[in-house]
Structure 1
Amino acid sequence: MSLIPTFHATRLRVALAAALGLLLSPLAQADFSIPGIELVHTVPVATELDTPDLRQPGPVWIELFDGAKSRIDIGQFYAADHPGSVMDKVIESLEAAGKRGVKIRFLLEEKGLKLSDQATLERLRKIPNLTFRVLPYARVGGGIIHAKYLVVDGRQAFVGSQNFDWRSLEHIHETGLRISDETIVGQVQAIFDQDWNAQAALTQNKPVPLPKPGKEPGRGGNYLVASPQRYNPAGVGDSQQELPRLLAEAQHEVRVQLLDYAPLSYGPDKTRPYYPVIDNAIRAAAARGVSIKLMVSDWNTGAPEVAYLKSLAVLPNVQVKIVTLPQDPQGFIPYARVIHSKTMEIDGQVAWVGTSNWLGGYLDNSRNLEVVMHDQAMAERIGALHEQLWDGPYAWPLDVARDYPQPHPGTP
């Protein structure tokens, strides 16, 4: 039996269930979960998008912080708050946790200091029982801490595309996971501890400790992969190997949503070295008849990246769409109003939710986390989330004949 009718039937059931939930209880917020994992989604305000069966990250983070008993560990690229925002309430919850004696460790990427709001950093540093560290990850793996994650009491974790940024909780299309699966949470905790200890070693001018070797990680069920491989704790797979392997196993359809995509990396003196790892896997899947539906943001239409998108779009079995979200009615918000989710769904059977953009410099030398789920319900829900944007008013097919303007997300 073909998988395609199953896709559409399941997505119709998801839409009907969501609509019914709204009719029955307009004030209630449901959640979509599989054992050990809840799907969490940011719906940008002032859009026609709607996912009432998914909780938003702000309330989820507040719930995690409010429930913390002894420890909160946070690893982030940068931090930015805005008065009166949802993030403002999140930080209030974090402050309350520190005041009641919860030990908080906050690890930030050094290059994220310039992107951060300085008042937010000062507010974080003043939280009782919070230890704030900055890690120059370039001195570890060669890239940056691009992962966005947190661990509470070693029992629950959150991994997703949401930065510790007020815009990510209200004005950007984001996808993440609240995780209670014991194995995955333990692995996320081990990654935080590895990087926390790396910062201490660098501060003391000592070599960064390498993780102890362990058994080859399994590829069944739900599991964590991360980068860079050399600094992955025992049992955590390599995302740079796993992504092409999953694409190689696809049989019918692959749906991908990203901020940006290009087979290019970042080299010295603003060079862009070729990085074919993911691109080769996508082209190989399309060549054997797999339908590829790639959706990226309008930040991805600059040169030279757009040329590579066009070279994909002309291939048989490949469709590429560009998503442009409307500006907020209250006025322009820099570096917002964009799709930032990093998700993949394969054949209605496999889902991928992570923190990496699909370029060089993310899966090879930067700290990123991705969760792979061999679960039909989760895969179909991720697929439906993709389909909502794909078929909605904000996504348009990439025009290979068009000369796209260079994007400037920081200016109106």
Structure 2
Amino acid sequence: MRKLIATITILLGCAGSAHAEFGIPGYELVHTVPLETALATPDLREPLQVWSEMFDGAKQQIVLGQFYVASQPGAAFEQVIARLAAAGARGVKIRFLMEEKGKFASDMPTIERLRQIPNLEFRYLDYSKLTGNGIIHAKYMVVDGSSAYVGSQNFDWRSFAHIHETGLRITDAVVVGQLQHIFEHDWHAQELIAQGKEVPRLNQGVVSANDQQATFLVASPNAFNPPGVGDSETELPKLLAAARSEVRIQLLDYAPLSYGPNHTRPYYAVIDNAIRAALARGVKVKLMVSNWNTEKPAIAYLKSLALLPGMEIRIVTLPQASTGFIPFARVIHSKTMEIDGQVAWIGTSNWSGGYLDLSRNLEIVLRNEKMAKRIGDLHQQTWNSAYAQPIDVMKDYPKPVKGKE
């Protein structure tokens, strides 16, 4: 086993050496380019290398909050699980908190393998027990309380090979500490719920972000954010309200709708109102979404938005892999925004109801021209690619194929 781990270490080191690191103090931008596409980001390291490096460097503790887990034999992601297992085997304490509803998307054998890792404690948390109708949708980890990772990448082999993903490796001590506190809160919440106790709210009123800082964390839901962490549902419209010339947004999907009982989709206008207000001021907005966003009723709202002056929407369809159809893959999943070449937003939320208000999600705001430009260029590359096509308001889009042919 030691020889195998050593071999993997050498191979990953060689594979990753072709990618330089891009970042600013405290933050490294990390990206997954879907295989067999013309997209390329040679200046950005891949999460396969970064996650493995973080697990290899762990000395005392690793904590992970994830929506679901999935792997398969032969996948490159297996190397990441091997690195996590190696950390546990050398005595690193590992706590893994997963959304209970994430079982439907998970590969159960992978969960069982995680449970078998020495020194790893695995728990499910039904986040709806805290908010009534939410999930752990954040995808993050903290290592030794000194480094962290936040991004769109799920703990999923597809996220490391067949999905467009963006994240940040973080060494900013303030933000890393806040992420650790968020994990500790949710870990303790699971204990309270298991005992049949209520999880007390941490905030009765909305907590504004400390947005005078150059870089800062916002999170949701506001009621369960620890001290010093601002409300993402408040901060996103605030940032859009400050936009002066252009906003670039990339998402899996977008709709001014939430998720209600009996498969209903209640109206949720918080983000949509902010975008429309920016357009009314003359700000240009370029919104790029995946072809999954063409399902009804979401597509109707996209078409409505596309009619407004200054609004451009492009739908991205990635080609199937040469190996054939891969369920829940071959899609853009990054959740990023760039404003006026000055502000970058990199997070875990989809931009619809239920994410920024009821679910555990994390977003990093960086008032940094260098990072904003790189996020803007990342958006521009896909925007200008053959995979992105302007929305056709007259077209009757077919229902997208997500999970099966």
TM-score by length of 1: 0.92
The 5 Å alignment of 1:370-385 reads 370-385=363-378
Which 4+ stretches in 1 moved above 3 angstroms? 209-217
Per-residue deviation, 1:352: 0.2
2:222 counterpart of 1:232: no
Contact 1:286 1:317 in 2 (8 A): yes
Gaps of 5+ in 1: 1-24
Provide the aligned length of Structure 1 versus Structure 2.
Answer: 388
Contact 1:323 1:339 in 2 (8 A): yes
Contact 1:213 1:234 in 2 (8 A): no
Q: What secondary structure does 1:145 align onto? A: coil
Contact 2:101 2:126 in 1 (8 A): yes
Contact 2:97 2:122 in 1 (8 A): yes
The 5 Å alignment of 1:35-184 reads 35-142=25-132, 143-184=134-175
Distance 1:42 1:300 in 2: 21
The 5 Å alignment of 1:260-275 reads 260-275=253-268
What whole-Å deviation, never above 9, does each CA across 1:127-173 have from its counterpart, x for those lacking one?
00000000000001230000000000000000000000000001000
Contact 2:203 2:225 in 1 (8 A): no
RMSD over aligned CA atoms reads 1.4
Contact 2:209 2:231 in 1 (8 A): no
Distance 1:274 1:192 in 2: 30
Contact 2:251 2:335 in 1 (8 A): yes
What whole-Å deviation, never above 9, does each CA across 1:370-408 have from its counterpart, x for those lacking one?
000000000000000000000111000000000001112
2:275 counterpart of 1:282: yes
Per-residue deviation, 1:27: 5.2
What whole-Å deviation, never above 9, does each CA across 1:164-188 have from its counterpart, x for those lacking one?
0000001000000000000000011
1:12 matched residue in structure 2: none
- CA shift in 2, pair 1:249/1:115, >3 Å: same
Distance 1:295 1:234 in 2: 34
2:190 counterpart of 1:199: yes
- CA shift in 2, pair 1:34/1:119, >3 Å: same
Per-residue deviation, 1:238: 0.3
2:212 counterpart of 1:222: no
The partner residue of 1:211 within 202, 216, 232 is: 202
Contact 1:213 1:233 in 2 (8 A): no
Q: What secondary structure does 2:169 align onto? A: strand
Per-residue deviation, 1:98: 0.3
1:244 matched residue in structure 2: 237
Per-residue deviation, 1:113: 1.1
Q: What secondary structure does 2:374 align onto? A: helix
Q: What secondary structure does 2:105 align onto? A: coil
Contact 1:321 1:390 in 2 (8 A): yes
Q: What secondary structure does 2:131 align onto? A: coil
Matched letter for residue 404 of structure 1 = Y
2:9 matched residue in structure 1: none
TM-score by length of 2: 0.94
Per-residue deviation, 1:95: 0.3
Distance 1:183 1:386 in 2: 28
Distance 1:27 1:62 in 2: 14
- CA shift in 2, pair 1:135/1:307, >3 Å: same
Q: What secondary structure does 1:49 align onto? A: coil
Contact 1:77 1:163 in 2 (8 A): yes
- CA shift in 2, pair 1:65/1:43, >3 Å: same
- CA shift in 2, pair 1:304/1:152, >3 Å: same
Per-residue deviation, 1:211: 3.3
The 5 Å alignment of 1:251-400 reads 251-400=244-393
What whole-Å deviation, never above 9, does each CA across 1:19-68 have from its counterpart, x for those lacking one?
xxxxxx99521011100000000000000000000000111000000000
